[in-house]
Amino acid sequence: MKALVSFVGSPETLKLAEVVKEELNKKNYSVQLSEIIRQKKQPKKSKTVKLKSGETSWKPFDLIVLGFPVIGISSSHLMNDYLRQCTNISGKQAAIFIACIGLHGNALKKASSIISFHGGKVKDSIVISSFLGLNEKKIEQAKEFIKNL
């Protein structure tokens, strides 16, 4: 089985993505990590954000795990733009983890609705507070999240 772990970079989401990869490997998944990065120069009149990196075809994967930071209550615009550019979402299972500083607001709902709109299903999600960094208890929460998928 193949899994894609796509994440928007922050030190916390990178750490959680690595934990997710390790736990999925234990479940016999072949895992591809994919950091979502925006191109520095964007076309002036384009509404679509151009990506420098980030795997956008979900076709070869059995499971997609998405991770992004939320600071304050704002949604992750980069994650939402990435999801709008993804293809072959229909019928795919996804899971979402958020590394949150403050309240997660509507970030989880927004990402989930984009996936659902394109025919995918969010199997599970978790919000992990990263206000004071990630301690062992928070890392264990992420591990349990993946074990229960």
Which of 11-20, 35-44, 58-67, 101-110 is least confident? 35-44
Domain of 11, in residue numbers: 2-39+47-147
Number of independent structural domains in the chain:
1
Identify the residue whose tokens are 């795990």. Answer: 65
**Whole-number Å distance between alpha carbons of 126 and 144:** 10
Helices (H), 33-117: 77-85, 107-117
Which pLDDT does position 124 carry in this prediction? Answer: 96
pLDDT in tens, 122-138: 999 999 988 778 899 99
Checking if the pLDDT of 49 tops 70, the result is: no
The arithmetic mean of pLDDT across residues 25-44, rounded, is: 86
CATH at residue 6: 3.40.50.360
- Non-local CB neighbours of 45 within 8 Å, separated by 6+ positions: none
